[in-house]
A and B are shown apart, each in its own frame.
Chain A
């Protein structure tokens, strides 16, 4: 187990290192006009060169890269090109937003998806199953920006017109302002993110549960005279959860790098918003930081998923 963790962490570090080089290379191959933009329309070539020098952009790519790695290892990710804010500060401000969004939505979609999936699988082809399938397919086929806009239209715009103001049009309130405003700002984004995923998890759980319920050991469990609910949960769901947990780890890992669409629709200043802004502004230090953050989240999520596999299934050995 320990050896597995060490090996996988080392492997993860290598992956991150490769990604950091790749991002650097991409930036070099597609050179930008950051210095010119910063210098303004009427700037002389000298001014531009000066700015380029101050940002270190006149150095060869490998010197820039080494400088970045050296500073990053000391916890310094450089400065935003435009506002001279430390990139770590930008990340630290945006991370709680994305974390609040993803954790809340993940709890919603996991519980909703697993519950609906189990209910569907217990009575396949029943009207409940068909209803839940339609529900799932409806949200599954809906793009999340559309769902977000619809929620805003009905639950913010129409309600506000009717004089009922529950949900704000967007933005974020940190938890330190209190749970209620925090949740008020997040409920619609949560729903946007969760309903689409819940649909996927409903189908995933249903399929997995149907497979498991056909297993011989479920028949054995019933032949023991234990209550049906226990057969479903302790014997069925216990096995059916393995693929669900895997998918969950991967999805959460991917979203922690920024839920771009949802954050944009609801003007949530999270990692996804920060990445998009940085990309449109060619803000190299922020781009690199957000890409590395997203990759780190995915790498860690994958390690956790593999450990969970071994925890859930005693037949799996980590090595």
Chain B
């Protein structure tokens, strides 16, 4: 059994403009000690989906299931969620400056985490552990910096502090929501390196949320591609990069910066995601899809196995036969060239 099994997760917000359907039936597994990457453009529901698992989504209508280590978390009572949060599931967020409390020292914030779950730890011991964690994530002179405030650290160092705090109680799962998006490229690599080292040392499973396929290539075992609140494609990393099925994945890959030219996007997907208030009837990607045909506009494709590979699913009406799908790719390229 997987460490985390999410099934048919749905999250809706009532807003003055109408119902925002942020997550529409998402399912995935995370196995012990592995990394699942969730990719997708901003607004596709990645943050809402993962925060709902730990009960951090407020004011929403939620259904579905998320079984963590044998226990259902959706609809769990406050005490259960509190025990799981921090101790079993650590979380880090996109912007480490706004995610750390500006009024408390980093040491205080880590000690609070430790003491929240282990009252028997003395303050001195918790502090020692905090200093050790800070040095573990590569903060120089950790025993002095422990009494500094978040604003006294650089962006990369702050994210290391967040990682140290999230890993303080050796959680089985770390949810990292765009942990490097706010950092510049060289620092990104260092922070990812820290996460990987800790994962190897502690055997932590990671859900890594990103919209950067470069990060996916570097870190993940398994990938889920999300679009408009739904899973578009799910596959092991190599499969996703070399034998992807979904046109949206194809678009994301085509927009990857070329090797050696960081930051330069080749061909971003034209158009923008649909409004979650007024979702199209058929495939949500249809308005931007170069392969779209009649059926796409009337009926939404289910997530189904493709290429006769049980580990590979795609929500697209295009052929599940690999040779046919490759043929469609060529035809479409030719049509584009003549157009």
Give the interface of A toward B (CB within 8 A). 215-217, 219-228, 235, 238-239, 312-315
Contacts and interface: CB of A to CB of B under 8 A. Distances in A.
B101 A221 contact: yes
B102 A225 contact: no
Interface in B78-125: 78, 81-87, 90-91, 93, 95, 98-103, 112-113, 116-117
Contacts of A223: 54, 56, 85-86, 90-91
A227 B81 CA distance: 10
Given A219-B56, A239-B103, A315-B149, A225 B116 contact: yes
Given A216-B95, A225-B113, 20 more contacts: A220-B93, A220-B99, A220-B100, A223-B85, A224-B85, A224-B112, A225-B82, A225-B85, A225-B86, A226-B112, A226-B113, A227-B116, A228-B78, A238-B101, A238-B103, A239-B101, A239-B103, A313-B103, A314-B149, A315-B102
Nearest to A315: B151
A219 B116 contact: no
A283 B176 CA distance: 71
B165 interface: yes
Contacts of A222: 56, 85
B98 A215 contact: yes
Contacts of B90: 223
Contacts of B93: 216, 219-220
27 contacts: A215-B98, A216-B93, A216-B98, A216-B99, A217-B99, A219-B51, A219-B93, A220-B93, A220-B99, A220-B162, A221-B101, A222-B85, A223-B56, A224-B116, A225-B82, A225-B84, A225-B86, A225-B87, A225-B113, A225-B117, A226-B112, A313-B102, A313-B103, A314-B102, A315-B102, A315-B149, A315-B151
A237 to B, nearest CB: 11
Given A220-B93, A314-B149, A315-B151, A225 B101 contact: no
Interface in B47-82: 51, 54, 56, 78, 81-82
A59 to B, nearest CB: 56
Contact of B165 (A216, A224, A238): A224
A215 B102 CA distance: 11
Contacts of A312: 103
Contacts of B78: 228
* Interface hub of A215, A223, A235, A312 (most chain B Cβ within 10 A): A223
A134 B99 CA distance: 34
Interface magnitude class on chain B: 20 to 34
A223 B78 CA distance: 12
B92 to A, nearest CB: 9
A224 B108 CA distance: 13
A219 B85 CA distance: 11
Interface string B161-192: 01001000000000000000000000000000
Contact of A224 (B86, B95, B102, B149): B86
A93 to B, nearest CB: 43
A216 B102 CA distance: 11
B163 to A, nearest CB: 12
A225 B84 CA distance: 7
Contacts of A221: 101
A219 B99 contact: yes
- Which among B82, B85, B101, B165 has the highest number of chain A CB atoms within 10 Å? B101
Contacts of A224: 85-86, 112-113, 116, 165
A217 to B, nearest CB: 4
B94 to A, nearest CB: 8
A239 B151 CA distance: 15
Residue in B82, B103, B117 whose Cβ sees the most chain A Cβ within 10 Å: B103
Contacts of A313: 102-103
A217 B92 CA distance: 11
Contacts of B149: 314-315
Contacts of A238: 101, 103
A217 B54 contact: no
B110 to A, nearest CB: 10
Nearest to A238: B103
Contacts of B51: 219
A313 B100 CA distance: 14
Given A225-B82, A225-B84, A315-B149, A220 B101 contact: yes
Closest 8 CB pairs of A and B: A225-B85, A225-B86, A216-B98, A223-B91, A224-B86, A217-B101, A226-B116, A216-B99
Contacts of A226: 82, 86, 112-113, 116
Nearest to A213: B58
B108 to A, nearest CB: 10
A315 B101 CA distance: 11
A318 to B, nearest CB: 16
